[in-house]
């Protein structure tokens, strides 16, 4: 099995090392094509107005000056000697669940692979935001078995899998739960902070704080809050079928 791995935290991210170890537990044909720099929050964006530059690190490791989506396209269309059988993304530093999946470059790698018709899994590791160490050993220890089951079962066309690991040692993980995507209660937690530069001109930072999530039973956030691994099948089709029926009656 040929595996392409990427991420949004960049080529030097410790989570990418963890993902390489996970992938090598499944295959010895593992290729890395990851962003040259941190691309967190770039979501499913493409670089259209600047050239892409790829730097060869070794025989099967490449850094691309571009977005996570660019990396998957470069890997599949140009760098790898043949089409990969599986694309893995991560292991992200922090969860990608609830509404956050729409911002995630980690999830975007899986989305792009799915658009290209390649089975894909995004992996993320929970930790206490902005403090403490990230327990990548949890994803590294438990990820291979989850991936063996997912690839053995097969991933449906148009679907990718979003996996989140809880913030605890592997021995304290309370199991695996298949979940649906959760959502924030009311506020997604991004604000704008105004500052003044040395020339007295205003500039702005987007500031981040964790919004309150609705941890309803069966959601990704609920599973993580109970030290379970969340496995969420997500689809590219964003159609709201219930509202579609109402609009058909209206028009």
Crossing angle of the two packed helices 14-24 and 136-153, in degrees rounded to 10: 40
Instruction: Check whether 40 is labelled as a binding-site residue.
Output: yes
Instruction: Check whether 100 is labelled as a binding-site residue.
Output: no
**Residue 117 CB neighbours (<10 A):** 10
Summary count for the chain: helices (H), strands (E):
6, 13
Q: Rounded CA gap, 237 and 140, in Å?
A: 30
Element (H, E) at 173: none
Which residue carries 């962003």 as its tokens? 35
Q: Which residues are CB-contacts of 69 (< 8 A; sequence separation ≥ 6)?
A: 42, 44, 45, 46, 105, 108, 109, 111, 112
Instruction: Check whether 70 is labelled as a binding-site residue.
Output: no
Instruction: Check whether 241 is labelled as a binding-site residue.
Output: no
Which residues make up each annotated binding site?
8-9, 40, 92
**Residues comprising the binding site for a divalent metal cation?**
8-9, 40, 92
């Amino acid at each position: 099995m040929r595996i392409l791995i990427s991420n949004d935290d960049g080529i030097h991210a410790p989570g990418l090392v963890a993902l390489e170890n996970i992938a090598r537990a499944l295959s010895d044909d593992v290729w890395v094509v990851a962003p040259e720099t941190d691309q967190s929050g770039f979501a499913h964006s493409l670089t259209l107005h600047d050239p892409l530059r790829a730097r060869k690190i070794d025989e099967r490791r490449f850094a691309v000056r571009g977005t996570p989506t660019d990396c998957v396209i470069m890997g599949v269309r140009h760098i790898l000697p043949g089409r990969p059988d599986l694309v893995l993304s991560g292991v992200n530093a922090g969860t990608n669940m609830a509404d956050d999946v729409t911002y995630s470059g980690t999830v975007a790698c899986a989305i792009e692979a799915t658009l290209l018709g390649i089975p894909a899994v995004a992996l993320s590791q929970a930790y206490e935001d902005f403090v403490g160490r990230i327990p990548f050993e949890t994803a590294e220890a438990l990820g291979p078995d989850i991936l063996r089951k997912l690839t053995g079962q097969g991933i449906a066309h148009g679907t990718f899998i979003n996996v989140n690991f809880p913030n605890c040692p592997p021995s304290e993980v309370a199991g695996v739960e298949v979940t649906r995507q959760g959502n924030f209660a009311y506020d997604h937690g991004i604000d704008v902070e105004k500052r003044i530069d040395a020339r007295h001109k205003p500039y702005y930072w987007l500031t981040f704080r964790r919004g309150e999530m609705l941890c309803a039973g069966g959601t990704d956030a609920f599973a993580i809050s109970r030290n379970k691994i969340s496995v969420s099948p997500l689809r590219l089709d964003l159609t709201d079928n219930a509202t579609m029926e109402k609009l058909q009656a209206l028009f």
